[in-house]
Structure 1
Amino acid sequence: MQTVRKEMGCPRVIRSDFGTENNTVRQMQQFLRRNGDDPLASEKSFMQGTSQHNQRIESWWGVLRKHSIQFWLNMFGQVKDQGHFTGDHLDKSLLQFCFMNLIQEELDKVAKEWNAHRISKSRNQCGPFGRPNVMYRTPQVYGTQDFLVPLENDEVEVCEEECTFKSQYPCDRDVFDLCSILMTEEQLPVPQNSEEGLNLYHTLRMHLLRMI
C-alpha cells in the first residue's frame, strides 16, 4: 500500500500463486478496480496460478535466496543448533532487535541492485528485456504502455485502514526498551554487520537471562 500511495495508482492486473497470504491483496486489488470499464476490471483484475508457471518470480526468489536469505538462514540455524535460541518470546524479540535493521538494509540493497541490472533479450522467448527501473518508468521505449490505474485518495485510505504497517520498533516494545537501556549502560554499539549483531545478541541474552 505504500507504493500504491506513492504512485496514487494500482496495477491493471495482479498475478499470484494460491498462497493464503495473497487473500488480502486480492480483496484490495478487486476493490480498487471495482469500477473499471476495461476487460480486466473487478474480479478479473486478480489472477491466480501455480508458482511454477511464473518463471520470472521464481528466478527472483532464487537470486534473493542466494545473495541474501541463505546466509541468514544458515547463521540463525547455527545459533539454534548451539543452544542459544529456544524459540521463546525473549529469543525471538532479541533476534529481531539485533538483526531486523541489518536484514532490511540488505534486502533493500539486493532489490536496488536487481532493479538496476540488465535483463538480456532472449532469442527463444518473447519477453521483456532491459533494466527494470527504466522499463518501469519509460515503458514507451519498449513498445508498451503504463498500465498503472489512477486512484482517488479516499479509495487508498479505505485500503490503508485495513493494513498493519511496519512499526518503528523492530520487536516487542518492552524488550526494545530494556535492550536499549542495557546498551546504554554497557556502552554497547549498534551493530553494523552480522558478526556485531551476533555478539550483541549473545551479550543481551546473557544479561536478560540473569535478570529472569
Structure 2
Amino acid sequence: MFCPFCGAQLGGAPRFCPSCGQNVGFLTERSSTPSTSTSEGCGPTDEASEEDLIRDYFGKGHSYEVIHDFLETKHGMVMSLKTLKRRLKQLNLSRRASYTPLETVNAAIRSELNGSGQLLGYRAMWQTLQQKHSLTVRRDNVMQALRFLNPERVSLRHRRRFVRRSYCAAGPNQVWHVDGYDKLKPFGIAISGCIDGYSRRVMWLSSGSTNNDPAVIARYYLQCISNCGVVPARLRTDCGTENGDMAAIHCSLREDHTDEFAGPLSHMYGTSTANQRIESWWSFFRKQRTQFWMDLFSDLRDRHYFNGTHEHKCLVRYVFLGIFQKELDEHRELWNNHTIRPVRQSLCPSGKPETMYHLPHRFGGRDCGYQVELQELQEFKDLLPPINSLCGDDNLQAHFANLERQSQLTPPINWPAAVDNYIALKEMAGL
C-alpha cells in the first residue's frame, strides 16, 4: 500500500503517512470497515458516518451535486452544497489538486496488468485507480502510462482487433477429438470421425447406419488404437451418450499410467462448439465431399424416389454405403497427405498431417501417446455387442439381397450405377 499524496510505501495500517504526515487512515478503513462497504451494489449502508459516506461517494467519481443528492435522499443528511465542498476540502479530497505521484500510479497500474486489468482501456483503468486504489490522477497520464507499460494491448485496442485463442499441443496423440457428423442422417447415413489435435491427421472416418450407438463408436475407437498401437493421452468428446463406452474404455486403458492426466482425467467432456479441431474440419469435409452427396440424395427426394421412411433409408445404405465409405477412405488419405499452410495465430506446426503425426521431432514435437497391448484391446472388443448389419435391418437386408440376386444386378462401382440400382430395387420392392 502506498501513500496517495507522496507515494511513500506504507507498512501495516498507519493512520498518518510517516513521510508527509497526511491522514491516510481512509485507505485501511475502506477495506476493513464493514460500514463503508457496499451491500449488493446498493451503496454505503446507513450506519456509515458522514465522513465515510463523503469519501465513498467521492471515490466512486460522483460529482458534487450527485454526492449532495445522495446524502440528502438516501441518508437524510441535509447540508448545503457549499458545506459539502467545505467538508471535501477538510478531508483533502480534490480532483484538481494533490495529484498522486506518477511512480505510485505506475506501480498500481503494473499490479492491475498482472491480472485481468490488462484488458482495460485507459478510461476503465483511470476509474479503477480512482475507486479501487484511491488515487488522484489525470486521465491523460493514465493513457500515457498504459502506452508505455502495455503497448501491445493498446495497439490491439486501437485497431479494434479481436484476439483469438491459440490451440496448443505438445505433439501427436496428446489429444484426439471425436465427433459425429449428421448432415446425411436424413438420408440414412451417419458418420463418425476423429482427428489428432497436433497434426490434424484424421484418425478414422467411418459411416454406417448410426453414430448414436455407444458400441459402434467404441469399436471405431478400438479399431483405430489397434491400427496405431498407441492410446492418446487425452480424448475430447461432446456430452452425447454415444461416447460413454469409448470414454470408459479410454479411462481404463489409461488408469495404470502415472502422468497428471492418467485415469478419469484422460477424457474430457465439453460442448460441441468448443471441440474446435473436429468441428472446424467438418466444414472442409462438407465443401469437398458431402455437399455432392447431399445434393444427390435431395435430387432423389425431389423426384419422389426417397421419402425418408425407414425402408427407404435402409435401401440407401444397402446400395450407397459401400461406395460412400470408399469415398471417405479416399478423402481421409488425401487430407492426411496434403500440406497445411502456416497460420500466424496457430502454435501448432504446418506441413502434411501424416508427416507431423509420424515424425513429430522434425516439427519440435514429441509423441505423447502410450503403448497398449493388443490382448487388452481384444478383451474390450469381446465385451461389446455385435454391430448391426450394413443396412441397419437384418430382414430388409436379406430382402434386398434376394431381389438383387433375382434381378442379377451387379454391385455398383460409382454413384451413377448406384442410383440405377437404387431405383431398380425400389421399384422391385414396391417402396
**TM range, normalised to the smaller chain?**
0.7 to 0.9
- Say yes or no: does 1:5 pair with 2:220: no
1:50: Cα distance to partner?
2.8
**Contact between 1:94 and 1:171, CA under 8 Å: does it hold in 2?**
no
Alpha-carbon separation, structure 2, partners of 1:171 and 1:54: 29
1:97 counterpart letter in structure 2? Y
Q: In terms of Rg, which structure is larger? A: 2
User: Which 5+ residue runs of structure 1 have no aligned equivalent?
Assistant: none
SS in 1 for 2:239: coil
The superposition leaves residues 48-104 of structure 1 with CA deviations (integer Å, 9 ceiling, x where unpaired) of: 333333433222101111122222222223323433223334322211111000110
| SS of equivalent to 1:47 | strand
**Between 173-182 and 188-197, the greater mean CA deviation after superposition:** 173-182
Q: CA deviation at 1:11?
A: 0.5
The answer to whether the 8 A contact 2:317-2:390 is kept is no
SS in 2 for 1:118: coil
Q: Distance in 2 between matches of 1:133 and 1:74?
A: 31
Paired with 2:290 and 2:396, the residues of 1 have a C-alpha distance of 25
CA contact (8 A) 2:236 2:275 kept: no
Query: What is the CA deviation profile of residues 107-126 of structure 1, one whole-angstrom value per residue up to 9, with x for unaligned ones?
Result: 11111111001112222321
- Higher share in helix: 1
Using the TM superposition, name which of 107-116 and 143-152 deviates more: 143-152
The offset of 1:170, in angstroms, is 4.3
Deviations 1:166-198 (A, max 9, x none): 567445344334433433433323212222211
- Counterpart AA for 1:150: Q
| Residue equivalent to 2:97 | none
Tell me how far apart the structure 2 counterparts of residues 89 and 58 of structure 1 sit (CA, whole Å): 28
Contact map agreement 2:315 2:391 (CA 8 A) in 1: no
Per the alignment, residue 414 of structure 2 pairs with 193
- Corresponding pairs, count: 210
> Which shifted more, 104-113 or 55-64?
55-64
2:336 alignment counterpart:
115
Instruction: Spell out the pairing of 1:86-125 with structure 2 (5 A cutoff).
Output: 86-125=307-346
Aligned identity (percent) is 31
Q: Which residue of 1 aligns with 2:366?
A: 145
Q: Which segment is superposed worse, 48-57 or 167-176? A: 167-176
**Residue-by-residue CA offset, 1:139-184 (whole Å, 9 max, x unaligned):** 1111111122112334212321244565674453443344334334
CA distance in 1, matches of 2:250, 2:381: 12
Greater relative contact order (CA < 8 Å, ≥ 6 in sequence): 1
Contact 1:101 1:170 in 2 (8 A): no
CA RMSD of aligned residues (A): 2.3
Q: Which moved more, 1:112-121 or 1:72-81?
A: 72-81
Whole-Å separation in 1 of the counterparts to 2:347 and 2:287: 27
- Asked whether 1:134 is paired with 2:355, we answer yes
Q: What SS class does the counterpart of residue 191 from structure 1 fall into?
A: coil
Aligned to 2:423: 202
Contact 1:135–1:142 (Cα < 8 Å) also in 2? yes
The partner residue of 1:85 within 306, 310, 324 is 306
